[in-house]
Chains A and B, each alone.
Chain A
Amino acid sequence: MSFKHNGVDIEDTFAEGFSMWGSRIIITAASKKWANTAATAMSGFATSVIACDCEAGIEAELKPGETPDGRPGTAVMVYGFSKGKLSESLLGRMGQCVLTCPSTAVFNGLPEAEADEMLDIGKSLRFFGDGFQVKMRMGDGWQQRRRFWRIPVMEGEFLVEEKIGAKKAVAGGNFLIMGENQDATLRAAEASIEAIHRVPGVVTPFPGGLCRSGSKVGSTYKFLKASTNTPFCPSIKNSVKGSKVPEGANSVIEVVINGLNEASVKKAMGFGVDAATWVPGVRWITAVNFDGKLGKFKMGLRDSLEAI
């Protein structure tokens, strides 16, 4: 079953999302360049929990007026399979990639009111101060109470918020763009990513937001838990049983979306699918699911387009 959107066939199916713990931090720095540098380093090697400790990505660049300290900032989201895993990833990545980066500071980007848990990340990082760290208190008794740690570093001081908000979030929002050639498919996927990043509260953890090597569970090799998604590989579509690549499609790129809630992920999928359909050469768009066996979130492509 399929339906047409802007003349492109969209399979009437759904992306199967699953639950992960998500967090959002705001990295600020002396310039946009350094905020982005820290954010890029922190969200590196975090495409998929298949082989990474977490999934992470840059949500948005923030103008000085949008950050707590009035400097340029970048919002980063990190997703882990449990609170513990998420804490470990945040601590390691903030410690190695942000604390080390000149002029940066870290603020919680998920307010306590919206979070399910507050993780003691800054509180743990403080020990780097070797006893010279300073607790900073704001708002006691008259405003919202906030806690930070000031850690002396060679360059000056690293400021980090004591607690980082985390909540049960949604991972695995996805859709596949199938085009008549690599060029058209890549251009369509790029258009999707640009559109998706207009939606707050979501990230696309793969390189540039795109995954050209989607995987299926298992392999012919016993030692490998995931392998190339053969039904969606055009170069073997007539050799593999049950290929899902339609006639005329010669390249497939997957867009994977994680978000703080189902509605955001669904909306991002809608914007992404819509943007892709405007690019000439796109033949077919579908989504990956496991018949409801993987996760509890069923985000239909039709619903996602209706959500925008």
Chain B
Amino acid sequence: MNKLVLTPRGFSSIPLEADVISPDVFAGKTVKEIRELKIHYGNREVEMSEYIHVQGKVAETPEEQRIVIDGDARHIKYIGRGMTAGRIVVQGDAGMHTGSQMEGGDITVAGNVGDWAGAEMKGGLIRVLGDAGNLLGAAYRGSSEGMTGGCILVKGRVGSETGSFMRRGMLVVEGDTGPFTGVHMNGGEVLVFGRLGKRAGAQAKGNGGFIASFGGAEEILPTYVYEATITPNFMRLYLMQLAGNLGIERAAGFIGAPLKRYRGDMAVGGSSEILVAEKVDA
């Protein structure tokens, strides 16, 4: 893969909106053309080179393009927005809307990521080694569908409304989640290895969607009905995938573990599931 290194020229309290930072936009251009791409600094349109130093090799196709952001990028919004292929590595924090509406490729953030990361994501993989903000993989306000595909892995904690209006795809959080995880969820999978926050699955309808918590739950909404404690075979497939392909080793410890099954949200006639591991110290 051809590597292009982007170095932010210092931190700015005024955000940069740079949805051009994408293999799809960069591929086929010259370095000079990339430096001249327009981004927003506050309400002003500027050339990218004014705030971000660009050097390296540009690929002919997005699939062959690797973008490394070397430095603090927590003020840079929309990194990798809508990308379909290639790879972005952020060697620090990343700003809001990182990987929003992306369709393919992968993004790795070594630090934390801001709110709305992976919002309305359709495909690809986002890996966050730190914490994620609110509305991870969520639907934008007014939209009826959040994530419809792809996978987001967060090593740390996540904020509120993670996976809101989720339709398909997979969200994995190794730390704790904030309130309203999977609110309005209508499909997709949320797997939490920390503690599941309050009001999880509120207004979730089902459609094969579930929230699984292997680190206990703050509470289960009264509109969820406890059914039984089971060891469903399907969970083995997810846990084997997490342990074998995605490097989440602790998942292996829960293969075959009994799970308390709650079904709801009855408030909306839902058939979604919340599965909570009976023992959290596996």
Contacts and interface: CB of A to CB of B under 8 A. Distances in A.
Contact of A156 (B123, B170, B231): B231
Interface in B159-186: 168-170
Q: Which of B125, B232, B255 has the most CB of A within 10 A?
A: B232
B231 A140 contact: no
Contacts of B187: 137
A142 B151 contact: yes
A99 interface: no
B208 A137 contact: yes
B271 interface: yes
B237 A68 contact: yes
Interface residues of B, number: 32
Contacts of B268: none
A135 interface: yes
Contacts of A135: 207-208
Interface string A140-168: 11110000101000001101000000000
A69 interface: yes
B46 to A, nearest CB: 33
B233 interface: yes
A134 B271 CA distance: 9
Contact of B149 (A28, A134, A140, A159): A140
Contact of B150 (A70, A134, A141): A141
B19 to A, nearest CB: 20
A141 B124 contact: yes
A141 B273 CA distance: 22
Nearest to A29: B233
Nearest to B124: A142
A70 B148 CA distance: 28
A221 B107 CA distance: 74
Contact of A140 (B169, B238, B273): B169
A134 B168 CA distance: 14
A143 B103 CA distance: 12
B123 A69 contact: no
Interface in B222-267: 230-234, 236-238, 240-241, 255
Contact of B168 (A28, A69, A140, A157): A140
Contacts of B230: 156-157
A150 B125 CA distance: 26
B236 A70 contact: yes
A157 B234 contact: yes
B208 A134 contact: yes
State the majority secondary structure of interface residues on A.
strand
A90 B227 CA distance: 32
A194 B258 CA distance: 40
A157 B232 contact: yes
Contacts of B236: 69-71
Contacts of A132: 271
Contacts of A156: 230-233
A148 B123 contact: no
B234 A142 contact: no
B122 interface: yes
A69 B234 CA distance: 8
Contact of B148 (A28, A68, A140, A150): A140
A138 B209 CA distance: 11
A138 B237 contact: yes
A105 interface: yes
Contacts of A28: 233
Given A70-B255, A156-B231, A159-B233, A141 B208 contact: no
Contacts of A69: 233, 236-237, 240
A137 B148 CA distance: 11
Nearest to B123: A141
Given A135-B208, A136-B208, A141 B234 contact: no
A150 B236 CA distance: 13
A138 B241 CA distance: 10
Given A136-B234, A156-B230, A141 B240 contact: no
7 contacts: A136-B234, A137-B208, A138-B238, A141-B150, A141-B151, A142-B124, A150-B234
The list of the 10 closest CB pairs from A to B, nearest first, reads A141-B149, A141-B123, A135-B208, A140-B149, A141-B150, A140-B168, A69-B236, A142-B151, A159-B233, A142-B150
Interface of A: 28, 68-71, 105, 132, 134-138, 140-143, 148, 150, 156-157, 159
Given A141-B121, A141-B150, 6 more contacts: A134-B206, A134-B208, A134-B273, A140-B150, A141-B123, A141-B169
